[in-house]
Structure 1
């Protein structure tokens, strides 16, 4: 592609750097799950080249043969500096951190620290499908508290559920998705403080998945859960994987509030053998030296969100687009199209475009799809046009 826009800091928009022919050379899940005639706008992989700082750090490590086992606190230190600079939060205590294989495996380990087999784990659907899968596989019970009006947290419903879940001195955990996937909702300081107060009142342990924290729209404040009053017994998982497209380079950081330090200290030693040493190097480089690239990405994502709104208004006006404040995902309400509970299947079969079905996201997912807009404007435009072409001949989409 030519004429790639540059961010004021001098970084080019990474979303405009790769064309479709180049992307189809990739061998990852996004590009190899479906036949070549399907345009993939589904799984959380971005169509971007990596930040130069990441490429340089990984290349240098490979040239040195530095491919052994991870050690040290460089990743946590880089995250602490990033948090202080981006979120004005200096609350990451390195001694209350641990490196884990990735965010979801870290979530599992945190839940094992604060719950036992059969205990309830509360989630807010529609929410990231692996929440259901991982909780079930570890022999905990999923309890749904659907998002409330505006697809925001529902404090009254959470309080009722917290009370019931811990009746009789039972243990329970609340798995908080912040920012929320798939809606892109960024929880406010007030909302998170309410969660913390309710959790303390009823003895519920909060585990926050904050993997999308670097991907908040400029001008919208991200509030780390552990930064709010009352969250001292909380646990959090953070990573550079989503912000810099490093899912295949496994690593994440587990963080404990002051009141959860003894819990984190019980993390089995073998968990620390799971992360990739190269992953730790890549994530550390991203946080330390990849912020210019991230800013250019965020500007490109903001432009793509606006483009998607215009494309839907033109080609699929019956689809209701939930305004997202974070992530590179769009949550689309397709119920007015009368395509049934799983419109993603229709878009795939008739339009040859892959988006995520809303059904695995739990309550509130039927009739919805999740679309990945971390791609070029040209591919995004083609994707929406394909979705429109999937409508039955008599459907107007309006």
Structure 2
């Protein structure tokens, strides 16, 4: 059942930093484009660190605790978080492994359950690095396009699984849950159907669940490994998106009961990649950052409503369905007459940087992805600039 969030005493973190303060940052979001460009593209949030996270990092630095990661504190914190937030008590600490980040964790999980030349199924349009990392592993991408309203099209998925397994070898389904860029939350029934179909064909499921903590009010995330039939699945989870910790690298691979032996074959050297300070930060976020997260989620609810109102007033030709999860907005700009890549036009003429739908695979032409994890003032200015591009 969807969980309503209690009112948080925390201030909205999306309203804490000015544009001048944000431009002091040296990360990709703020240094890729000139200063006259509003950056609403890459998945970084315009927020200060949650106080419990900042305190944990500073405490570690104060005592020189900057060595190599070890132990199960991160997994224990995630298991506790999963029980509270998702009503899931099935995350077994002994079936987890620390990995450098979610995408590198996906690479390692795919390697465990497939070989060079095998195929990986994705639901397009989808997070662009899926394509890049899969191909760099010498695997083939097979697309199963999303259906109406961004939901899994099981007829397309069936065709993709049949094609993959008909090639011989092994097949993997890289499930994006919640889905990036659409923000779709897969239901328990849909995920159970995924598990059943995957078992029918002998396809292994690897779930990218990095956006799991970021849900709209009244919505509920369902972990893939919690549904019937998913016992042989593998999941990647992290606190990085929900608490803006991409620069403090760490993530967890989680195995279902029937995938424990697969995870046990993970090379020992993979555990050398995560940041020890990152593990400390992620653990603190999951254990003590709940109030901050609730304030963030409330702010994101407000920003989704704001964007819908602004588009209706200034860009009514743009189709937008507020997402159930993530802090991303997937906008259909095909009626604007800006061609297949409206992001390029908006950057050149409007000085707004958004993600081009062209990079998300089949179905992305004419779309843009907008990062809503910023202040309302920047969203207002971005829509104004976008509207000014039109004749």
Contact 2:79-2:91 at 8 Å conserved across structures: yes
2:107 matched to 1:108? Answer: yes
Shift of 1:349: 0.5
Contact 2:308-2:322 at 8 Å conserved across structures: no
2:208 counterpart residue number? 209
Shift of 1:165: 1.1
2:19 counterpart residue number? 20
Contact 2:41-2:354 at 8 Å conserved across structures: yes
TM-score, scaled to structure 1: 0.96
| Within-5 A mapping of 1:115-130 | 115-130=114-129
1:223 counterpart residue number? 222
Secondary structure (helix, strand or coil) at the match of 2:111 reads helix
- For 2:283 and 2:336, the matched residues in 1 are separated by 45
2:134 matched to 1:167? Answer: no
Secondary structure (helix, strand or coil) at the match of 2:242 reads coil
1:366 counterpart residue number? 365
Unaligned runs of 5+ in 2: 1-5
- For 1:146 and 1:219, the matched residues in 2 are separated by 27
2:311 counterpart residue number? 312
Count matched residues. Answer: 386
Cα distance per residue 1:132-187 (max 9 Å; x no partner): 00000010000000001111001111112212211265310000000000000000
1:251 counterpart residue number? 250
1:39 counterpart residue number? 38
Cα distance per residue 1:60-99 (max 9 Å; x no partner): 0000100000000000000000000000000111110000
Cα distance per residue 1:250-286 (max 9 Å; x no partner): 0000000000000000000000000000000000000
Shift of 1:310: 0.5
TM-score, scaled to structure 2: 0.98
Cα distance per residue 1:27-63 (max 9 Å; x no partner): 0000000000001011000000010000000000000
Secondary structure (helix, strand or coil) at the match of 1:214 reads coil
1:327 counterpart residue number? 326
Secondary structure (helix, strand or coil) at the match of 2:236 reads strand
Secondary structure (helix, strand or coil) at the match of 2:243 reads coil
- For 2:129 and 2:166, the matched residues in 1 are separated by 27
2:177 matched to 1:178? Answer: yes
Shift of 1:372: 0.4
Shift of 1:9: 2.8
1:145 counterpart residue number? 144
- For 1:354 and 1:169, the matched residues in 2 are separated by 43
1:385 counterpart residue number? 384
1:63 counterpart residue number? 62
Shift of 1:12: 0.4
C-alpha RMSD over aligned residues: 0.8
Shift of 1:370: 0.2
Shift of 1:8: 3.1
2:3 counterpart residue number? none
2:355 counterpart residue number? 356
1:263 counterpart residue number? 262
Shift of 1:17: 0.3
Secondary structure (helix, strand or coil) at the match of 2:120 reads strand
Cα distance per residue 1:204-260 (max 9 Å; x no partner): 000000000000112111100000000000000000000000000000000000000
Secondary structure (helix, strand or coil) at the match of 2:166 reads coil
- For 2:239 and 2:217, the matched residues in 1 are separated by 18
- For 1:156 and 1:228, the matched residues in 2 are separated by 20
2:282 counterpart residue number? 283
Secondary structure (helix, strand or coil) at the match of 2:253 reads strand
- For 1:167 and 1:379, the matched residues in 2 are separated by 50
Secondary structure (helix, strand or coil) at the match of 1:331 reads strand
Unaligned runs of 5+ in 1: 1-6, 394-398
